[in-house]
Structure 1
Amino acid sequence: MTGPELEVSDQLGRGLLSTMRSLLVLGQLMTESSGERQILELAMTAVPSLARCRVASLEPGEHAGLDRTTTGNGPVGGPVEVSGAAWGWGYPLGSPPGRFGVLVVAADEEPTSEEQFLLRALAQQTGAALANRHLHAQELAAAEELSEVNERLRGSLGALERSIEIHDRLTAVAVSGEGRDGIARAVHELTGLPVAIEDRYGNLKAWAGPQRPEPYPKDSARRREDLLRRARASNRPIREGGSLIALAHPQGDVLGVISLVDPGGQAGEHDVMALEHGATILAMELARVRSLAESELRVRRDLVDELLNGTEEESALARAAALGYDLQRPHRVVLVEGGRGSIGIDALFQAVRIAARDEGAGSLLVARGSQVVLLADRESDWEALRQSIIRGLGGASVRLAVGEECGAVSDFPQSFRQSRLALQLMRSAEWSDQAVRFDDLGVYRLLVGAEDLGEVERFIQRWIGSLLEYDEKRNSELVRTLMHYLQHVGNYVATAGSLIVHRNTLKYRLQRIRQISGLDLSDPEVFFNLQLATRAWQTLTALRSGPAS
């Protein structure tokens, strides 16, 4: 992502937060509106400013039009067929869903998840405002008809004032950006009860109030999923043990849980209201945080991809600086892949990330296909890094290759190519899984740098061409046998062990090699040239095999 694109991403994040703030202000205006008509007009006017949609219809009345949706009276509504539109959705107003009607919106294409979240929030705000207006109208009617209920009316007005107080307090938290801690404090102050905010898995993220348990209890995964299932099925907070539980789940995806610790069951209607509104504000906050995290991850991935493929230096340095990363230190491109056996890329990525952090190797890394690329910003004990990755994977086999040092942004593609080549050599030469630096490849490195690969090919043909031709025709392994024999400096026992063959089989193959090539393997000069030829063949094989996916 370029510098301007990063600036646009930041502007989008700020725009989303600004829109949510405006939505909260709109909800307050609705609450203070003089009648239902004005509330509905405010809702209809707001739709185009929240999403690329238009209002198809706004049908007031209990359960109006809900038979047109696929989800009945569910809290998120459902799709609606609208003439001339590619996408339509009906959002129920009020609780239970549809009590005050349905807001139907249409668009030429499906809005983004953020836009759908804002539309749903608008429907919730409209329903809440209609509910408040409906309650207020009932109170006024009762006051006009029965003078003896004045005292009850004052109590109802007090409840309304309490609702507005709850709304205003939590709206202020959302606007000020106090985060999870601020939301927990606000709900605690409004209810007088301890408040806990947990992530989806039950890990405590914020606490407000006395008597915080140490250690904080955590349910088993099965029990947690059962709790989330029951909470999703309910339209209101549910009681679990000594707590009231509400979910923060924009678009139905549970991001967190907020609960009132109420073992005595003393929470009243307004406490439940504060909890529900706190869950709405928490959903907005967690959605914002997740969006920012995903944006940063995309920026990191794009930066690494462009460095490896070659990019303009000034732009790369600017984007790295925006991430708080110093790209002007010397780096090496490190490539990690699973060895024998299969390793999931997610597990490999996490193991490399943790090992790189623990070994101080670097923090800029991405997954590419079945491999993980790490831009290491300091010299490390590469074998120690590999062993740390292996421990993180529970003992799985891992290969690690390191390119030459990058002194400038323009050096990254070359270092990446070198690390890929080192991995290819490990495979073609059948080396054991290990950490290999391109700097340490010796003659292989010279062969890679040869300007005339045709000359290298002719050298290979001169010394082992007949064996390669024999292997291709007979599907035999004479060149592979010779390669292991030369690597073990003519040691029969070690060669047979590495090939996993009987010594008599090895002797037969060596005899065939002598017969076909006409070479004396005991001649030191022949031995040296055969070593060079087999390594040249391994190098060309690695170069021609291309990058691993």
Structure 2
Amino acid sequence: MPSVTVRDVLRLALPLGTTISAGSAGLGRQVTWVATLRSTLPAFAELRGGELAVLAVDAIRTLDTRLSLAVLVRRLGQAPIPVAGVVALGTITNDDVTAAEEARLPLLQLPEGTDLREVEREITRLVSDYEAQFERRGAQLYDLLTQRSLAGAGLPGLLDLMAERTGQSVACYAPNGELRAQRGRGSARVALQALRPTAAGDASMLNQQIWVELIGPRDFPTGYLAVAGTALDTWDREAAQRGAAALALELAKEQAVQAAEDRLRGDFVSNILSGPPGDLAAALQRGQELGYTLTVPHMAVLVKIDDAGPSALARLSGTIQNELTRRGIPAPLSRRESSVLCMLPTATNARPRELVEQLRERLLIDYPQVLLAVGTPVATLAEWRRSLEEAEQAMVLGRQLFGPGRVLAFSDLGVYRLLVRLRETPELWTFYRETLSRLADYDQRQGADLIKTLDAYFNHLGNLRATSGALHVHRNTLLYRLERIKDISGMDLDNAEEHFALWLALRAHRVLSTIEEG
């Protein structure tokens, strides 16, 4: 059977709210049994050493008016084999604290209204059957945590209880390892602030032992719980396991509330995007109720992860919401089929593009394949749809033109911005057919690279050496291809107007291809 210390009694037998008044240096003393104050002198009979003395302060003077808790503590501490500590119910004075410190005797104060007979039973259970009491206290801790969760205490309330029942520092983290909340002190607090857990198990930092538990399913954890201290024992790990199970319920409750709010906010955004609100004043009022100021300009920010399923999009939406909340930015979010839309207010942000770049850097930590595209700021709700369409075009065209390593902005598309506006007009299709369609058809039939050759030629400003080098072909091969381009398209690259028409048609080709991609 494991030896039982005063610290074990404090955590595994005494009621919630018990405090250490003095003698914390002696918490490692071994407890052999429990001794209660007698109704007649001597106050404690047949002490063999190592007992935990349990008493009510008011009952001491009924034995002898000359007795006080301080006197009794000194006597118990000076015995040939002293007791392990004193557990007192009632007022503890400075003299009592001084006496306990001098005797290096732990003095624990019970919360008001404690039943001393129940305290005696709990200590007896722990000393006589440690394993059973250990399991019982673990179950009690889980019950207390779930009760607090149901009472609406939230993460802080649950962590308060964890810290109180372990005497250690505790912290809760998001799935990406970002600190959400903590209760701690000293080096342990600093260590938990620096920790970014990615898995369960032991860790160490700043001379602190840390134990990390997964919260939620192993494949898709909803977070991490960490316990830190100069020394951790089996109870700390047991408490962490029970705490993680209770926190999983708390986080599931949070997610359910967040999902309901997301649906509400998403429906609000969807209604605006579906067409101009019939009652603008009512829409503005509804937005205000949801925490938004819709009278300022907004711009669409589209966040996408390729092949992301509903659960991944839900996590992505939560991460974006948390980051915006941390920055104090109320922005409507809407989860779409394969992306998350954020209508970012720009009036309060002098550099909205810079903010989006920072958001991208933050998201890359958890989502290495994330893509962000932005439309231009618009002043009214009726224009939100246009900003979204611009962000969608920037997502497709910007990815082709610039690659995924930056925020894809509609304002960066140059002449493509004009062509996007024209892509479904008959004039652009007619222009394309008259300039480049025959070349595109030939490439498709013959498996040729004439359009690729033409693109490289324009990108290198007509420099034959640079173009042939980029295409990895001989200069004569390039000249042959350019002649074939002239013959098939009927356009002469030496003619300034026809040269420009082919350049523009090549860009129209990219834009028109996005109709199928979009």
TM-score normalised by L of structure 1: 0.49
Percent identity of the aligned residues? 30
CA displacement, residues 435-455 of structure 1 (integer Å, 9 cap, x when unaligned): 554355454333443498223
Question: 1: distance between equivalents of 2:254 and 2:224?
Answer: 12
Question: 2: distance between equivalents of 1:459 and 1:308?
Answer: 32
Equivalence map 1:95-244=2 (5 Å): 155=117, 177-182=152-157, 194=167, 196-199=169-172, 205-207=181-183, 214-216=190-192, 224=201
Q: What residue is the counterpart of 1:506 in the other structure? A: 478
Question: 2: distance between equivalents of 1:404 and 1:243?
Answer: 48
Question: How far 1:526 moved relative to its partner?
Answer: 1.5
Question: How far 1:249 moved relative to its partner?
Answer: 7.9
1:380 maps to which of 351, 361, 370? 351
Question: 2: distance between equivalents of 1:473 and 1:371?
Answer: 36
Q: 3-state SS of the aligned residue for 2:294?
A: coil
Question: How far 1:426 moved relative to its partner?
Answer: 3.7
Question: 1: distance between equivalents of 2:354 and 2:196?
Answer: 39
Q: 3-state SS of the aligned residue for 1:375?
A: strand
Q: 3-state SS of the aligned residue for 1:476?
A: coil
Q: 3-state SS of the aligned residue for 1:456?
A: helix
Question: How far 1:382 moved relative to its partner?
Answer: 3.6
2:256 maps to which of 279, 283, 291? 291
Question: How far 1:416 moved relative to its partner?
Answer: 1.3
Q: What residue is the counterpart of 1:329 in the other structure? A: 296
Q: What residue is the counterpart of 2:450 in the other structure? A: 478
CA displacement, residues 445-467 of structure 1 (integer Å, 9 cap, x when unaligned): 33443498223222222223432
Q: What residue is the counterpart of 1:27 in the other structure? A: none
Q: 3-state SS of the aligned residue for 2:301?
A: strand
Question: How far 1:493 moved relative to its partner?
Answer: 3.8
CA contact (8 A) 1:467 1:478 kept: yes
Q: 3-state SS of the aligned residue for 2:201?
A: helix
Q: 3-state SS of the aligned residue for 1:505?
A: helix
Q: What residue is the counterpart of 1:393 in the other structure? A: 364
CA contact (8 A) 2:215 2:247 kept: yes
CA displacement, residues 211-267 of structure 1 (integer Å, 9 cap, x when unaligned): 9665349797665299xxxxxxxxxxxxxx9999999989xx997769898979999
Structure showing greater radius of gyration is 2
Assess, with a 3 A threshold, how the Cα gap between structure 1 residues 290 and 159 changes in structure 2: closer, same or farther.
Answer: farther
Equivalence map 1:458-497=2 (5 Å): 458-497=430-469
Question: 2: distance between equivalents of 1:500 and 1:358?
Answer: 51
Question: How far 1:510 moved relative to its partner?
Answer: 0.4
CA displacement, residues 330-372 of structure 1 (integer Å, 9 cap, x when unaligned): 1111335579xx9996798799779978999985555645545
Can you give the 5+ residue segments of structure 2 that lack an aligned partner in the other structure? 1-115, 126-135
Letter in 1 for 2:201: R
Greater alpha carbon shift after TM alignment, 345-354 vs 294-303: 345-354
CA contact (8 A) 1:471 1:479 kept: yes
Q: 3-state SS of the aligned residue for 2:377?
A: strand
Question: Do residues 457 (structure 1) and 437 (structure 2) align?
Answer: no
CA contact (8 A) 2:201 2:211 kept: no
Question: Do residues 522 (structure 1) and 477 (structure 2) align?
Answer: no
Question: 1: distance between equivalents of 2:324 and 2:386?
Answer: 22
Letter in 2 for 1:373: L
Question: How far 1:194 moved relative to its partner?
Answer: 2.0
CA displacement, residues 42-76 of structure 1 (integer Å, 9 cap, x when unaligned): xxxxxxxxxxxxxxxxxxxxxxxxxxxxxxxxxxx
CA contact (8 A) 2:148 2:157 kept: yes
CA contact (8 A) 2:360 2:372 kept: no
Letter in 2 for 1:403: G
Report the structure, 1 or 2, having the larger helix content: 1
CA contact (8 A) 2:200 2:212 kept: no
CA contact (8 A) 1:386 1:398 kept: no
CA contact (8 A) 1:331 1:376 kept: yes
Question: 2: distance between equivalents of 1:496 and 1:405?
Answer: 42
Question: 2: distance between equivalents of 1:244 and 1:426?
Answer: 45
Equivalence map 1:9-158=2 (5 Å): 155=117
The CA RMSD over aligned residues, in Å, is: 5.9
Q: What residue is the counterpart of 1:416 in the other structure? A: 388
CA contact (8 A) 2:458 2:503 kept: yes
